Amino acid sequence: MTIDVPTLRKEFPTLSRELDGQRLVYLDSAASSQTPTAVLDAMDHFYRWSRSNVHRGVYPLAEEATDLYEGGRTKLASFLDADPRGVVFTKNATEACNLVAYSWVRRNLREGDAMLSTVMEHHANHVPFTYAARDLGFEVRHITLTDDGQLDLDVARRLLADGKVRFLAVGHVSNVLGTINPVAELARMVREANPDALVHVDGTQAAPHLPVSFRDLGVDFYAVTGHKMLGPTGIGALVARPELLDAMDPFLSGGDMIRDVTLEGSTWNDIPHKFEAGTPMIAEAAGLGAAVDWLTDLGMTRVREHEVALTAAMIEALTSIEGVTIHGPTDMAVRGGAISFAVEGVHPHDVGAMLGSKGVCVRVGHHCTKPLMRCLKLNATARASSYIYNDVDDLEPLVDGIEAARSFFAR
């Protein structure tokens, strides 16, 4: 069963806006998705009905707030097929990556050790680790790409050969090339080379689009962010194996994450609370819970099917424009919905500005992947990224806008 996009669009208020009299065509969901009214209602309900703080309250409002917050955790856990005890709420995926960097990498890797990453990582999955490496002196190795924008597993094998790699940080789906990386296979390779090595996956661009089972992936950490999966801003999560969290020292500390505090020191609370210091994102967790419920109702298999069909059509539409080339794989079996493209003779900024003037929202720039840009010998790309509320009727405005940019700017 396909998605009935026209009906579904009605649930996304911003999409009914007009820009200069033109229909808004939102093709920037890889940067941030729209939010359905069900999510807004869930947050509103908290603020208008149960507004209070969580945990330890002895009055009904506080218990309701706790239920909303912890309910968000349970929902996200079942959405990602993970143990709720292993779901730590953070403010975004970036904080989730930092949690891994501070609580595990910085406390375990030393000079002489190595970690493995890739040249296509988002800065969120790159900088926290190279920053740690700068402070601690361990080595960072990078898997390079094949010509069609996939990870070169032969290179990976070579980089793992000496057994020094104790940690892998890899994205599940690239926000620039769209590439879906074989993370389960990489995890197996890493553990074969070093059974004690841990695997951290940046699932930011995967969780909104693919059915994800944390258990089946066989990895140790998995980071997601709410605002790209129909949820609110201000919330993300790190999913981890509970045993691992149990053994780790906390990162942020303060209230709620302690068991006991004396003037001299503290003992830590049980997981996941040990990693959630301070008043949490209560409304946001309620909103994210509603978002994953909404996605579950729609069905993640359908979400992916819609992505495959629409992305294939978009690739075809784009490549049929003269002078347009696409970066990254074109085989839908190994790619998601983010499409970076170049327009010959027109700078991406100008492409984006022209499209914006026609109501078509795309992102231009380095997409927080400067190392990848250097590899591709690019300064920037224009990127169109679709989601469930996009449909083939969005292709014409996109193509028209690009053609207008070509005739306006191409020298």
Ligand X SMILES: Cc1ncc(COP(=O)(O)O)c(C=O)c1O
Binding site for ligand X (CB under 6 A): 92-94, 122, 124-125, 171, 175, 202, 204-205, 225, 227, 236, 255, 278-279, 368
**CB distance 160 to 116 below 8 Å:** yes
Interface with another protein, residue 123, by CB under 8 A: no
How far apart (Å, rounded) are the C-alpha atoms in residues 16 and 13? 6
Q: Which residues contact 235 (CB under 8 A, 6 or more apart)?
A: 89, 90, 91, 92, 225, 226, 227, 281, 284, 285, 287, 288
Q: Which is nearer to a copy of itself, 182 or 356 (CB)?
A: 356
| String marking each residue 160-199 x if it binds another protein according to CB under 8 A | ----------------------------------------
Rounded to a whole number of angstroms, the minimum distance from the CB of residue 216 to a copy of itself is 27
Interacting partner of 270 out of ligand X, a copy of itself, another protein, none (Cβ under 5 to 8 A depending on kind):
another protein
SS3 120: coil
Rounded to a whole number of angstroms, the minimum distance from the CB of residue 383 to another protein is 13
Among 357, 371, 375, 403, binds another protein (CB under 8 A): 357
Rounded to a whole number of angstroms, the minimum distance from the CB of residue 180 to another protein is 26
Q: Which is nearer to ligand X, 142 or 227 (CB)?
A: 227
* Window contacting another protein (CB under 8 A); options: 150-158, 216-224, 242-250, 264-272: 264-272
The pair of three-digit structure tokens given for residue 320, joined into one six-digit string: 């049929």
**CB distance 210 to 203 below 8 Å:** no
Interface with a copy of itself, residue 394, by CB under 8 A: no
Interface with another protein, residue 270, by CB under 8 A: yes
368 is catalytic: yes
Site residues for another protein, 13-52, by CB under 8 A, read 20
Interacting partner of 262 out of another protein, a copy of itself, ligand X, none (Cβ under 5 to 8 A depending on kind):
a copy of itself
Q: Which helix (H) or strand (E) holds 75?
A: helix 60-79
Among 73, 76, 87, 128, binds a copy of itself (CB under 8 A): 128
Q: Which helix (H) or strand (E) holds 65?
A: helix 60-79
Phi, psi (5° rounding) for residue 340?
A: -90, 135
How far apart (Å, rounded) are the C-alpha atoms in residues 218 and 382? 34
C-alpha radius of gyration, the chain, whole number = 22
CA distances from 366 to 198, 224, 326, 358, 383 (A): 29, 21, 15, 22, 10
Site residues for another protein, 50-69, by CB under 8 A, read 55-58, 60, 63, 66
Q: Could you give the count of Cα atoms lying within 13 Å of 235 in the half-sphere of its Cβ?
A: 25
Interface with a copy of itself, residue 239, by CB under 8 A: no
- Tokens 């960097």 correspond to 101
Q: Which is nearer to a copy of itself, 34 or 194 (CB)?
A: 34
H-state helical runs in 256-347: 282-298, 300-319
User: Which of 97, 361, 368, 375 is flagged as catalytic?
Assistant: 368
Among 267, 296, 301, 325, binds another protein (CB under 8 A): 267
Interface with a copy of itself, residue 269, by CB under 8 A: no
How far apart (Å, rounded) are the C-alpha atoms in residues 57 and 73? 19
Among 18, 135, 147, 260, binds another protein (CB under 8 A): 260
**What does 327-390 look like in DSSP terms, one character per residue?**
ES---GGGB-SEEEEEETTB-HHHHHHHHHHTTEE-EEE-TT-HHHHHHTT-S-EEEEE--TT-
Rounded to a whole number of angstroms, the minimum distance from the CB of residue 202 to a copy of itself is 10
Q: Which residues are catalytic?
A: 368
**Residues lying near another protein in the complex (CB under 8 A):** 20, 55-58, 60, 63, 66, 258-260, 267, 269-270, 347-350, 353-354, 356-357, 364-366, 370, 373, 378-380, 408-409, 411
